[in-house]
């Protein structure tokens, strides 16, 4: 099988970090970043399945495994020899010992077995008591939990000192409960969980298993963990709920965990969820819902994660994040974790150190802690597919800003060497591309932006609705819109802001762009100069208390600049000579002085149009986008102002953004 190895590019990360430390990004630097990140994304493909053989070796970091092997499926195994162990208080009875399985200890409920038998032995655990089960085995085996309730007074409840695969099978209609001691006696053997295994752990069956990790982890494998059925409830974990040295794969079943540390941690591998339900709650500082040294991938199933510790993330991947399906409810409430006097870590629903690609799935994300993020990516970010499909996302941030900044218009990432950090809904240090999907974003605190890229940001499709306290959309590089729908409303700053500072900083080639900035000095489109704007197509309406007027934008289609007038809340509407609605756009608040760009395919050079603000949306239209944009047919209301379009750029009203404008309201 083809093995996927994800190799991080040190050069790329150095470039990204360098760009993150300055707002002056050259065109050559942006091109260099784009070329290198496109090369790196070619390795972003499907991984392999786990090993079929009964091996001892662990997978290495970066070797992504996305599916169980045939050998991990208990239906492909046969366990004909059943050893029955029954606890009653502090004693246990061992029955049906086959050849080559030996009892090496059975005192005070502590049962130790050694097996040199073939891989066909099942150990059935029954009864209730205090004690533990330890096993040494040369071959893979099955541990069948038949309603056993076992509390260890010293060490793990299940201590599987075998490097071979173990099937943890919960029998139908039963509920088993396992807990370890809060302190362990000194031992040369590795043991650090209520269920501990040197080898691989495969959870299956249809019963219920409750696990409490009082000492450290609840479930731990020094190899990998796979969930293929049954219900696993980690009721308590002093550290991680599920901890592996390799990877974690969940294909089916229900997993509910409560832990101080991570919910699922793959210390040297990846995490993949393709089915089932995973519900993770963590409370400790930097206690992530999912933490992986490799990639995180989800193709189906349901993930619910809630973290409350400082600097904690619902999903924390040191590698890439690839999501092509599933349902997600991600909530963080933790504040800022101080790594040092000059470095802080903020909470995030999704945090990715590599590249992120989300092509599908339904997401509900909320980050309420100080400077909390919705999605925070160090590499490139891609949302949706080239055919225009994509995820459905609702992202809300409510946390206040942390620290102070000399440049409050520029936000910082989840881990920063700055003494300040702001909330963000979506942030990417690398290129950010939206091909499709539906995005509903709300931020409500000082400095909190909606979508931010530290390089270029491209919108090819999708539906994006943003109401942000700070910039709704911000990029250090070029912002390009080729298609889709954007409603960007900034209550206290610019609606769409590029810091590129050169010609072509903001380019509109198609789609519908609605951009509402705040009152002066904020703008609908902020490119530092109107001459840095390019309009080549699509429908555009902007509003704001100011618009840089040093020169004209580059226009290959008719664009009308309406300057200086006041504007009412309602629906800005343009009609042709026959009264047909060319465009009608929702305006969320009144402005005493407003500056707007207006463009549409229905506006033709040499024609005269009327415009004004209606109190309600047109009831008679041929097409619309939600309650934000309408086209077609007629309106009964009389519109009092007019303009005549030219083949390119034309202006109406006062061209001075500081002037008083002309009398009246639209």
- pLDDT, one tens digit per residue, over 232-278 is 999 999 999 999 999 999 999 999 999 999 999 999 999 999 999 99
Look over the chain and give the mean of its residue pLDDT values, rounded to a whole number: 88
Q: Which pLDDT value is given to residue 190?
A: 87
State yes or no: pLDDT of 26 exceeds 60. Answer: no
Measured in degrees and rounded to the nearest 5, phi and psi for residue 295 equal -90, 155
202 three-state secondary structure: strand
Q: Which pLDDT value is given to residue 35?
A: 53
Q: Which pLDDT value is given to residue 58?
A: 40
Domain presence at residue 273: yes
- Alpha carbon dihedral 253, 258, 260, 265, in 10-degree steps, equals 10
Kind of pairing, strands 166-170 and 533-535?
unpaired
- Alpha carbon dihedral 405, 409, 413, 415, in 10-degree steps, equals 0
CA atoms within 13 A on the CB side of 69: 15
Q: Which pLDDT value is given to residue 31?
A: 55
Q: Which two tokens stand for residue 422?
A: 């702001």
CA angle 438/248/149 to nearest 5° reads 115
Domain presence at residue 272: yes
State yes or no: pLDDT of 49 exceeds 70. Answer: no
Q: Which pLDDT value is given to residue 610?
A: 95
Q: Which pLDDT value is given to residue 638?
A: 82
Domain presence at residue 157: yes
Which is higher by pLDDT, 354 or 55?
Answer: 354
Q: Which pLDDT value is given to residue 53?
A: 52
Q: Which two tokens stand for residue 442?
A: 């709300």
State yes or no: pLDDT of 417 exceeds 70. Answer: no
CA angle 444/449/455 to nearest 5° reads 170
Overall number of domains in the chain: 1
Contact criterion met (CB below 8 Å) for 331 and 373: no
Determine the number of helices (DSSP H) and then strands (DSSP E) in the chain: 2, 64
Report the alpha-carbon distance of residue 394 to residue 494 in Å, rounded. 22
Q: Which pLDDT value is given to residue 343?
A: 87
Prior bond of 360 cis (ω within 30°): no
Sign of the Cα pseudo-torsion (15, 16, 20, 23, in order): positive
Domain presence at residue 560: no
pLDDT digits (tens, 9 = 90+) for 306-351: 999 999 999 999 999 999 999 999 999 999 999 887 889 999 999 9
Q: What is the mean pLDDT of residues 516-523?
A: 89
Tell me which residue range forms the domain holding 184.
44-282
Domain presence at residue 476: no
Q: Which two tokens stand for residue 394?
A: 């609702």
Q: Which pLDDT value is given to residue 551?
A: 82
State yes or no: pLDDT of 410 exceeds 70. Answer: no
Q: What is the mean pLDDT of residues 279-284?
A: 98
- Residue carrying structure tokens 């809300």: 396
Report the alpha-carbon distance of residue 613 to residue 573 in Å, rounded. 6
19 three-state secondary structure: helix
Name the burial class of residue 566, with classes exposed (0-12), middle (13-18) and buried (19+) by CB atoms within 10 angstroms of its CB.
middle
Report the alpha-carbon distance of residue 75 to residue 60 in Å, rounded. 28
Report the alpha-carbon distance of residue 617 to residue 466 in Å, rounded. 20
Q: Which pLDDT value is given to residue 32?
A: 54
Residues 6+ apart with CB under 8 A from 323: 297, 298, 299, 357, 358, 359, 360, 361, 391
Q: Which two tokens stand for residue 270?
A: 């990846």
Q: Which pLDDT value is given to residue 302?
A: 98
Looking at 431-578, which runs of residues are DSSP E strands?
Answer: 432-434, 438-443, 449-453, 457-459, 463-468, 473-475, 479-481, 485-490, 496-498, 506-508, 512-516, 525-526, 533-535, 539-543, 554-555, 559-567, 570-575
- Per-residue DSSP letter, 578: T
CA 643 to chain centroid, in Å, comes to 45
pLDDT digits (tens, 9 = 90+) for 184-223: 988 889 899 999 999 999 999 999 999 999 999 999 999 9
CB atoms within 10 A of CB 235: 16
Q: Which pLDDT value is given to residue 38?
A: 46
Q: Which pLDDT value is given to residue 174?
A: 98
State yes or no: pLDDT of 19 exceeds 60. Answer: no
Helical H segments across 140-260, by residue range: none
Q: What is the mean pLDDT of residues 159-165?
A: 97
Q: Which pLDDT value is given to residue 341?
A: 78
Domain presence at residue 424: no
Share of the chain above pLDDT 70, in %: 86
Contact criterion met (CB below 8 Å) for 521 and 540: no
State yes or no: pLDDT of 666 exceeds 80. Answer: no
Q: What is the mean pLDDT of residues 470-490?
A: 98
Domain presence at residue 533: no
Name the burial class of residue 440, with classes exposed (0-12), middle (13-18) and buried (19+) by CB atoms within 10 angstroms of its CB.
middle
**Helices 10-20 + 27-41 axis angle, to 10:** 140
Residue of 188, 123, 124 lying closest to 155 (CA atoms): 188
- CA separation, residue 607 to residues 14, 155, 163, 530, 646 (Å): 53, 84, 80, 24, 8
Residue of 107, 103, 108 lying closest to 135 (CA atoms): 103
pLDDT digits (tens, 9 = 90+) for 606-663: 999 999 999 999 988 999 999 999 999 888 888 989 999 999 999 987 654 433 332 2
- CA separation, residue 6 to residues 40, 268, 296, 488 (Å): 9, 13, 12, 36
Report the alpha-carbon distance of residue 543 to residue 649 in Å, rounded. 17
- Per-residue DSSP letter, 8: -
Q: What is the mean pLDDT of residues 9-29?
A: 39
């Amino acid at each position: 099988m083809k093995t996927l190895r994800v190799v991080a590019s040190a050069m790329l990360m150095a470039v990204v970090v360098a760009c993150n430390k300055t707002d002056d990004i050259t065109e050559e630097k942006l091109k260099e970043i784009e070329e290198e990140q496109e090369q790196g994304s070619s390795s972003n493909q499907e991984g392999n399945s786990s090993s079929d053989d009964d091996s001892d070796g662990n997978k290495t970091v970066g070797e992504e495994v996305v599916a169980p092997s045939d050998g991990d499926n208990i239906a492909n195994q046969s366990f004909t020899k059943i050893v029955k162990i029954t606890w009653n208080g502090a004693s246990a009875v061992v029955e049906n010992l086959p050849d080559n399985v030996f009892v090496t200890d059975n005192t005070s409920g502590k049962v130790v077995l050694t097996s040199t038998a073939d891989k066909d032995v099942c150990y059935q655990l029954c009864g209730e008591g205090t004690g533990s089960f330890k096993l040494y085995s040369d071959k893979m085996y099955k541990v069948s939990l038949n309603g056993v309730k076992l509390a260890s007074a010293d060490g793990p409840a299940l201590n599987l000192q075998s490097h071979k695969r173990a099937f943890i099978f919960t029998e139908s209609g039963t509920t088993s409960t396992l807990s370890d001691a809060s302190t362990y006696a000194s031992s040369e053997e590795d043991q650090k969980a209520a269920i501990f295994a040197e080898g691989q752990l495969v959870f299956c069956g249809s019963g219920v298993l409750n696990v409490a990790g009082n000492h450290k982890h609840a479930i731990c494998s020094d190899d990998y963990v796979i969930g293929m059925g049954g219900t696993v409830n980690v009721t308590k974990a002093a550290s991680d709920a599920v901890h592996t040295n390799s990877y974690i794969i969940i294909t089916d079943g229900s997993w509910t965990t409560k832990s101080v540390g991570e919910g699922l941690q793959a210390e040297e591998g990846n995490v993949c969820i393709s089915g089932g339900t995973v519900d993770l709650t963590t409370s400790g500082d930097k206690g992530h819902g999912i933490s992986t040294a490799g990639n995180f991938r989800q193709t189906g199933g349901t993930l619910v994660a809630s973290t409350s510790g400082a600097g904690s993330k619902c999903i924390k991947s040191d590698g890439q994040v690839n999501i092509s399906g599933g349902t997600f409810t991600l909530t963080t409430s933790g504040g800022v974790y101080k790594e040092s006097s000059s470095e802080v870590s903020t909470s995030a629903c999704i945090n990715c150190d590599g590249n992120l690609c989300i092509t599908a799935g339904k997401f509900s994300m909320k980050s309420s802690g100080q400077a909390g993020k919705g999605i925070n990516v160090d590499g490139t970010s891609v949302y949706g597919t080239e055919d225009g499909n994509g995820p459905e996302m609702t992202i809300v941030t409510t946390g206040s800003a942390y620290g102070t900044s000399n440049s409050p218009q520029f936000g910082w990432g989840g881990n920063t060497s700055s003494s300040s950090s702001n909330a963000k809904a979506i942030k990417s240090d690398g290129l950010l591309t939206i091909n499709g999907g539906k995005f509903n974003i709300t931020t409500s605190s000082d400095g909190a932006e909606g979508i931010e890229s530290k390089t270029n940001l491209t919108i090819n499709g999708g539906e994006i609705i943003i109401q942000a306290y700070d910039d709704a959309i911000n990029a250090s590089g070029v912002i390009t819109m080729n298609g889709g729908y954007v409603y960007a409303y900034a209550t206290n700053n610019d609606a769409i802001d590029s810091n590129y500072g050169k010609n072509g900083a903001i380019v509109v080639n198609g789609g519908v762009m609605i951009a509402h900035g705040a009152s002066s000095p904020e703008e609908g489109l902020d490119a530092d100069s109107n001459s840095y704007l390019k309009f080549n197509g699509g429908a555009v309406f902007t509003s704001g208390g100011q618009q840089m007027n040093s020169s004209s934008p580059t226009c290959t289609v008719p664009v009308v600049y309406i300057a200086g007038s006041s504007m009412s809340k309602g629906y800005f509407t343009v009609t042709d000579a026959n009264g047909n609605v060319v465009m009608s756009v929702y305006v969320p608040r009144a402005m005493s002085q407003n500056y707007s760009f207006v463009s549409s395919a229905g506006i033709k050079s040499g024609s005269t149009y009327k415009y004004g603000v209606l109190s309600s949306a047109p009831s008679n239209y041929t097409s619309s986008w939600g309650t934000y944009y309408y086209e077609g047919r007629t309106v009964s209301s009389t519109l009092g102002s007019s303009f005549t379009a030219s083949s390119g750029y034309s202006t109406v009203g006062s061209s001075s953004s500081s002037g008083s404008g002309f009398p009246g309201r639209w």
